[in-house]
Amino acid sequence: MQRITVLGATGSIGVSTLDVVARHPGRYAVYALSAHSRVEELAAQCVQFRPARAVVGTAAAADRLAALLRAAGVKTEVEWGEQALCSIASAPEVDSVMAAIVGAAGLAPTLAAARAGKKILLANKEALVMSGQLFMDAVHESGAVLLPIDSEHNAIFQSMPQFGGRVPAVREQAAGVAKILLTASGGPFLTRDVATLDAVTPEQACKHPNWSMGRKISVDSATMMNKGLEVIEAHWLFGAPADQIEVVIHPQSVIHSMVSYVDGSVLAQLGNPDMRTPIAHALAYPERIASGVAQLDLTQIATLQFEKPDFTRFPCLALAFDALRAGGTAPALLNAANEVAVQAFLDRKIGFRQIDRVIAQVVDTLPHGDAHSIDAVLAQDAAARAAAEACIAGLAA
Ligand code: NDP
Ligand code: MG
């Protein structure tokens, strides 16, 4: 029996994870679940999965959850706040942690799981983008097992059998790899007239052609900052320098990424675009379990297309490559500015094309330093958030 904590259980990835877990009742037991604000959804999950512990964002949310669970006769212990999140991610009772909180809020608990040597199923790419080397060091020092959930990185992992089940230490470059080919759907605005992008709404940006996801990552997909963050994620997971990572637009989202080897071989992982496939892969690794995803029928799809990305249409992609090359805390600045700008767009305070302008201004004006400690990273994260808020206020005025 594998005992699991799901951080971000009420989100898109959290719900898909519990869907896979529910298909294999003898194999997985849920130790703890977390949510932030969706208390009713979390209560229903607690009724179904009977975790020992549940964590929410505030004392008020904890009171509401406790009342709901009392009424349902469920004995789950209710806690709230970051310390509690770190505790359910690192408790000795836990084998695996699904890290599926969105954004920088996931850093502390994901790092706690890494330091405690857990099997980490990493969806929360922002945590790795922010803390890079520090996070990978924590993984290697504790002997934690890091399995990528992001569909592209899960595909790359499956296409790198030479690592025998572990992501490599960052200095250890994947032998024989010529290029990592990170596929991207291009999002909802791949072919839209660039001149009209200023006027797009949050609803249009969140309407992804192939994937159903949380709102933040959906906007990131529309700007292609999601792919930019994934370039940085691939750098840390697979020890690949920026020049070895190539983004390929593949609108059908059937090939989830590829690895091109020096002998001319290209290995790829294919599947229907449903996150339950990489989730099931990581949950059961190195075994295989059913995920509920339909088998891929290539004759139905018939055509697979590929093209180079247009960096002028998608300036966020260029900003991310620049941040990776700059190193240090530059990716943390990029990530924080992006989180603030995306929220401002979702709140209709700025237009779609102002997202990249806010990020560029923050990254260009704030000095980036050495990412020598988590405190240094968090200080830069806070500074970037303040600078982004100021920039947004200036745009609105
Ligand atoms: P959602 O927005 O659907 O869910 C986010 C989860 O995090 C919810 O459970 C939410 O709680 C919780 N949460 C939000 N803010 C906080 C906070 N401040 N503190 C603690 N918990 C918080 O996001 P997704 O599931 O789409 O994405 C989760 C992560 O997975 C992201 O990092 C994303 O980049 C990554 N990912 C997602 C993919 C997808 O297909 N969705 C694909 C690849 C990666 P509540 O809802 O209760 O407020
Ligand atoms: Mg992805």
Instruction: For the chain, report the end-to-end CA distance as a whole number of angstroms.
Output: 57
Helix (H), strand (E), coil (C) string for 158-196: HCCHHHCCCCCCCCCCCCCEEEEEEEECCCCCCCCCHHH
ipTM of the complex in this document: 0.99
Maximum CA pair distance of the chain?
Answer: 63
For residue 175, pLDDT over 80 is answered with no
Is 250:304 a contact under the CB 8 Å cutoff? yes
Helix, strand, or coil here: 364? helix
Q: Report helix angle 315-326 to 330-346, nearest 10.
A: 150
318 within a domain of the structure (yes/no): no
111/124 same-domain check = yes
Percentage of residues in the chain having pLDDT higher than 70: 97
Query: Which of 148, 176, 205 is the C-terminal boundary of a domain?
Result: 148
- Check pocket membership of 217 for ligand 1, CB cut-off 6 A: yes
- Which residues fall within 8 angstroms of residue 191, CB to CB, at 6 or more apart? none
Residue 103 CA, ligand 1 centroid: distance in Å: 7
Residue 100 CA, ligand 1 centroid: distance in Å: 5
pLDDT at 38: 97
Residue with structure tokens 């209710």? 78
CB neighbours of residue 241 within 10 Å: 10
Nearest CA to ligand 1 atom 42: 150
Q: Where are the beta strands (DSSP E) in 132-265?
A: 145-148, 177-184, 245-249, 255-261
Query: Which of 115, 148, 181 is the C-terminal boundary of a domain?
Result: 148
Residue 97 CA, ligand 2 centroid: distance in Å: 19
How far apart are alpha carbons 203 and 87 in whole angstroms?
A: 36
296/394 same-domain check = no
Burial of residue 238 (CB within 10 Å: 0-12, 13-18, 19+) is buried
Is 79:54 a contact under the CB 8 Å cutoff? yes
186/267 same-domain check = yes
Backbone phi, psi, residue 195, to 5°? -65, -20
- pLDDT averaged over the chain? 95
Q: Which residues pair with 98 in a beta bridge?
A: 6, 121
198 within a domain of the structure (yes/no): yes
Range of the domain at 372: 327-397
pLDDT at 397: 78
- The model's pLDDT over 185-222, given as tens digits with 9 standing for 90+, comes to 999 999 999 999 999 999 999 998 888 899 999 999 99
Q: Which residues pair with 284 in a beta bridge?
A: none
- Check pocket membership of 45 for ligand 1, CB cut-off 6 A: no
319 within a domain of the structure (yes/no): no
pLDDT at 201: 96
Task: Say what the pTM is.
Answer: 0.97
Domain count along the chain: 3
377/295 same-domain check = no
282 within a domain of the structure (yes/no): yes
111/137 same-domain check = yes
Helix, strand, or coil here: 260? strand
Q: Residue 161 — very low, low, confident or very high, per pLDDT cuts 50/70/90?
A: confident
250/377 same-domain check = no
How far apart are alpha carbons 345 and 90 in whole angstroms?
A: 35
143/155 same-domain check = no
Nearest CA to ligand 1 atom 17: 105
- The model's pLDDT over 295-352, given as tens digits with 9 standing for 90+, comes to 999 999 989 999 999 999 999 999 999 999 999 999 999 999 999 999 999 999 999 9
Q: Residue 365 — very low, low, confident or very high, per pLDDT cuts 50/70/90?
A: very high
Q: Residue 355 — very low, low, confident or very high, per pLDDT cuts 50/70/90?
A: very high
CB neighbours of residue 38 within 10 Å: 17
- Check pocket membership of 339 for ligand 1, CB cut-off 6 A: no
Residue with structure tokens 């206020």? 393
Residue 179 CA, ligand 2 centroid: distance in Å: 18
Q: Residue 168 — very low, low, confident or very high, per pLDDT cuts 50/70/90?
A: low
109/189 same-domain check = no
21/115 same-domain check = yes
- Check pocket membership of 154 for ligand 1, CB cut-off 6 A: no
| C-alpha dist (Å) from residue 201 to 197, 236, 346, 358 | 9, 33, 8, 18
320 within a domain of the structure (yes/no): no
265/396 same-domain check = no
304/202 same-domain check = yes
| C-alpha dist (Å) from residue 392 to 202, 341, 356 | 17, 8, 12
212 within a domain of the structure (yes/no): yes
- Check pocket membership of 10 for ligand 1, CB cut-off 6 A: yes
115/217 same-domain check = no
